[in-house]
């Protein structure tokens, strides 16, 4: 018996991806970070990252250290921006690799501050203003 075709699928148009990012840059006048967390939302982390790596973006937004490690292992040059909280056991690797963490707690801030004493670490702060 033949397997039925999938009921739904997604096709990534690389030229549309390039075009849309170009437009976003032109209209915003700012740097753009492509968020590819969760395996590029199911479209394939590495496949999408390789395409985005060609576009000279400052960051690729990933969910966690594991996704950042995958990008590095596959030779992706664009710097990972880790959107989620980090585990204490991951932070030395993050600092050593030059990845950008998003600091979500005082504990993370204090730990990265210690790790960055001899070599500064670029980081971003996540501040809960109570708006959800």
Question: How many independent structural domains does the chain possess?
Answer: 1
Q: Which domain holds residue 90?
A: 31-125
Q: What CA–CA distance (Å, rounded) separates 124 from 100?
A: 7
In this structure, the number of other CB atoms found within 10 A of the CB of residue 42 comes to 8
Residue 1 lies in a domain: no
Residue 98 lies in a domain: yes
pLDDT for 132? 63
CB 43 within 8 A of CB 10: yes
Residue 66 lies in a domain: yes
Q: Is 125 helix (H, G, I), strand (E, B) or coil?
A: strand
Residue 42 lies in a domain: yes
pLDDT for 121? 95
CATH (domain of 47): 3.20.20.10
What's the predicted TM-score (pTM) here? 0.86
Residue 92 lies in a domain: yes
pLDDT by position in tens, the chain (length 132)? 788 888 877 788 999 999 999 999 999 999 999 999 988 888 889 999 999 999 999 999 999 999 999 999 999 999 999 999 999 999 999 999 999 999 999 999 999 999 999 999 999 999 888 886
Residue 25 lies in a domain: no
Residue 104 lies in a domain: yes
DSSP 26-88: HHH-S--EEE-HHHHHHT-HHHHHHHHGGG--SEEEESSHHHHHHHHHTT--SEEEE-S---G
């Amino acid at each position: 018996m033949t397997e039925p075709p999938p009921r739904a699928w997604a096709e990534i148009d690389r030229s549309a991806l390039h075009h849309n990012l170009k437009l976003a840059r032109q209209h915003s006048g700012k740097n753009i970070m492509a968020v590819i967390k969760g395996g590029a939302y199911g479209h394939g982390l590495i496949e999408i990252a390789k395409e985005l790596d060609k576009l000279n973006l400052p960051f690729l937004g990933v969910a966690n250290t594991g996704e950042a490690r995958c990008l590095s292992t596959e030779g992706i040059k664009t710097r990972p921006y880790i959107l989620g909280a980090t585990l204490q056991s991951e932070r030395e690797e993050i600092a050593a690799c030059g990845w950008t963490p998003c600091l979500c707690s005082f504990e993370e801030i204090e730990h990265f501050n210690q790790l960055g004493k001899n070599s500064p670490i670029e980081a971003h702060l996540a501040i809960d203003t109570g708006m959800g």
